[in-house]
Structure 1
């Protein structure tokens, strides 16, 4: 694309300064060749739960450099040393991610029993071999034998960053620091020790384990999710994971959208038949792809929704576009084609709506709900059902004037409220009477990953005040986990019970908690009543023998 990125990522949010930098918080995410998940929390509720926002994609589904910069390495560094370690680690992880995660077409062949899947031992060996190669590259980088630009463009890491990273790992492996004098001077045993040190390091290990998690089969990611969240809440009835489409915006390649759609189609059947949880996915729409090749991205949307049991469309504005009013040629026309088709076919749209993770400095602000407010003023879009995802941190008020980026200064990404984005959403729902506008509470990590009772109280207080002011019947907030992104958090295995308890402590009544945990999602998705969405899902479930009784439980009088 020729766009310059802020390095490592410009838009970092409230969640980024709260996560990852505590010893061992994810020490059990991956161990050896098997997932060793922590025990799930308990959550007993006598009604369904719908997770309206989660993900099962792996590293083959998004550009590798994007995975590292955009997903894995977006956390704030607490000190200069850690910042230097992370800058060096960014390049190493690009190498570590290469050529291991199964591509969508290969997993599709496995799911259709046309190919053999790798065993857990084989996958673990492939991960470790690639990590071994990454450590060989680290030694070469530290010795000035290679350039970081070979692996990550652009990169601000220099030789001193790699020297520091290698010395840090050597110390943890109890190796003499001078062993890295040329790759030939490092034995296989030395590099093996560095690999193990990287896995077990309090900070570096978090990144390594998350990257290795991203190398899994998508089906394994889904089943890991179910082991954690289904076991703690047997009432979990429906999950709606999203696939992504980033490769026109960030460097690298990804599994074609059609292949990803077909994989999720097969997984929807497996999850329902083997686990009793219904799964209907969100397909990504990229307006840039659509602008360059009119009809291409919309064709994938129609295929997924009309033929493969998908239930909605996912948009990701921080890649580089707004809901409306874009100056880049063709973007608005592409979005309008999508909006028109969704209105005509009763298809819901979910959009990332947090000032975070922009592909360029300043792009996080493109996700502002103000842009969606402007769109919904058009009469032809008044019936568009929208979910503005990642509600609930109130950053623009709590962190007014702070930069969203922690490792990188980007004045365009400063929190500029009040009003908070939550307030804008509230005013759009209440004052503008946009009754089809929703927001989800996915990745509300402040109520899970931190031990700050003061922060917990403040978030609950703000949430209670928001409901009283804008949504007294609690008809517009929805529950979501944002798995597998949530796997980076301390206590992520307790997310469901923590959220249920947090809502109760925020003064939300049981009846209104039911709205948030399932009724609102049923309304947003179009499953609460007879109509095109319910008809499509019913037909799909009948065709693939998935049962339809569960739909009756989601009907709302």
Structure 2
């Protein structure tokens, strides 16, 4: 789920309001026996609008209730709509005009203190996620924004600020900063790997990335393998975690359906990782079962799905409250 109402429609809601979407996902989680869980969207601009009396819907309350009582696993963020993970108060346009004074946004967003208000809203949400070990999934590809200035807000430098403020935050950098490693190169991805800390007490100790919408695996597998090999074999500066322990499989499957050949997406990734796993450097990093980590283990670590972890405890309470038997994935992890 995503929340674009204030960024694209000045606050006008979709025909199915977010609260109804969350309820639909709650029912889907029940009828699928815990095999499908949602991420609920947080929009700091909606939160600011609520605090200014511009809307009756509170983004923070929607998120916390969805995670605590509706079976949602974590939070979804979409920064290229127009906000940074952190550091909004410092954003400026080249001509010095208010950063959010845009024709498609509500007039009140032109206020000079909006950046600080967005940071306050993000701080409230990220602090709660850190305290309750709630996973955050963020769109980090430079795409789908209205303008280039907004798309750039998905970048790693803003997440560096967020992790400095909330060092234990469980965050997944969606799309690994880019969905076209072959076409665009590795610079953005490397910006995110630099934030993945090995030390459990350091900022970025729970920072991960996913391969959602890596459609190059369908048409450019040899080139993608070469580029992923470079990322896996990059020298590890002191304190940085090996990518093998942080990179996760993903599909963004509704989008990949438009590419054709999607039936081979999983099989192509299996083949690609068979090649990666044989590389000597992986063994030197003392990483066991690279494929197992990529295809599920790392995601379980990021989301906190193992027995006794916070997310697992919330899901078990949800299952118990709704008469849902523990799903097979839990037995596999255990």
Give the TM bin, normalised by the shorter chain: 0.7 to 0.9
| Corresponding residue number in structure 1 for 2:73 | 311
Q: Is 1:285 aligned to 2:56, yes or no?
A: no
Q: Which runs of 5+ in 2 are unaligned?
A: 52-56, 90-113, 283-287
> 1:489-508: CA deviations, max 9, x gaps?
12112211111211222336
| Corresponding residue number in structure 2 for 1:483 | 253
Distance apart, 1:265 and its partner CA: 0.6
Pick one of 209, 223, 234 that aligns with 1:455. 223
Whole-Å separation in 2 of the counterparts to 1:471 and 1:443: 24
**Structure ranking higher on relative contact order (CA contacts 8 Å, 6+ apart):** 1
> 1:130-162: CA deviations, max 9, x gaps?
xxxxxxxxxxxxxxxxxxxxxxxxxxxxxxxxx
Q: Which runs of 5+ in 1 are unaligned?
A: 1-242, 401-418
Q: Partner of 1:362: helix, strand, or coil?
A: helix
| Corresponding residue number in structure 2 for 1:297 | 59
Quickly say closer, same or farther: Cα 1:334–1:493, change in 2 above 3 A.
Answer: same
Pick one of 83, 86, 92 that aligns with 1:321. 83
Quickly say closer, same or farther: Cα 1:507–1:271, change in 2 above 3 A.
Answer: same
Quickly say closer, same or farther: Cα 1:331–1:472, change in 2 above 3 A.
Answer: closer
Q: Is 1:499 aligned to 2:269, yes or no?
A: yes
Whole-Å separation in 2 of the counterparts to 1:532 and 1:465: 33
> 1:299-328: CA deviations, max 9, x gaps?
100121111111100000000000111133
Whole-Å separation in 2 of the counterparts to 1:430 and 1:302: 27
Q: Is the 8 A contact 1:343 1:384 kept in 2?
A: yes
Q: Is 1:533 aligned to 2:315, yes or no?
A: no
Pick one of 137, 143, 150 that aligns with 1:350. 137
Q: Is 1:336 aligned to 2:123, yes or no?
A: yes
Whole-Å separation in 2 of the counterparts to 1:526 and 1:446: 29
| Corresponding residue number in structure 2 for 1:247 | 5
Whole-Å separation in 2 of the counterparts to 1:474 and 1:398: 23
Whole-Å separation in 1 of the counterparts to 2:181 and 2:295: 26
Distance apart, 1:332 and its partner CA: 0.7
> Within 5 A, what are the aligned runs for 1:383-462?
383-391=168-176, 393=178, 399=184, 420-430=187-197, 434-448=204-218, 450=219, 452=220, 454-462=222-230
Pick one of 264, 286, 292 that aligns with 2:25. 264
Whole-Å separation in 2 of the counterparts to 1:282 and 1:490: 26
Whole-Å separation in 1 of the counterparts to 2:177 and 2:121: 30
| Corresponding residue number in structure 2 for 1:138 | none
> 1:335-361: CA deviations, max 9, x gaps?
111012112222111100111111223
RMSD over aligned Cα, in angstroms?
2.5
> 1:479-523: CA deviations, max 9, x gaps?
111121111112112211111211222336770111111111111
TM-score, reference length from structure 1: 0.48
> Within 5 A, what are the aligned runs for 1:155-174?
none
Q: Is the 8 A contact 1:247 1:253 kept in 2?
A: yes
Pick one of 306, 323, 334 that aligns with 1:545. 323
> 1:280-315: CA deviations, max 9, x gaps?
210000100001103800010012111111110000
> 1:366-408: CA deviations, max 9, x gaps?
0001211122122xx11111101102758689537xxxxxxxx
Q: Is the 8 A contact 2:164 2:203 kept in 1?
A: no
Quickly say closer, same or farther: Cα 1:244–1:338, change in 2 above 3 A.
Answer: same
Q: Is the 8 A contact 1:324 1:375 kept in 2?
A: yes
Quickly say closer, same or farther: Cα 1:453–1:260, change in 2 above 3 A.
Answer: closer
> Within 5 A, what are the aligned runs for 1:22-37?
none
Quickly say closer, same or farther: Cα 1:501–1:519, change in 2 above 3 A.
Answer: same
Q: Is the 8 A contact 2:176 2:192 kept in 1?
A: no
Distance apart, 1:362 and its partner CA: 2.4
Q: Partner of 1:304: helix, strand, or coil?
A: helix
Aligned length: 287
Whole-Å separation in 2 of the counterparts to 1:477 and 1:291: 33
TM-score, reference length from structure 2: 0.78
Q: Partner of 1:244: helix, strand, or coil?
A: coil
Q: Is 1:464 aligned to 2:242, yes or no?
A: no
| Corresponding residue number in structure 1 for 2:160 | 373
Q: Partner of 2:289: helix, strand, or coil?
A: helix
Q: Partner of 1:439: helix, strand, or coil?
A: strand
Quickly say closer, same or farther: Cα 1:515–1:392, change in 2 above 3 A.
Answer: farther
Whole-Å separation in 1 of the counterparts to 2:156 and 2:296: 23
| Corresponding residue number in structure 2 for 1:518 | 296
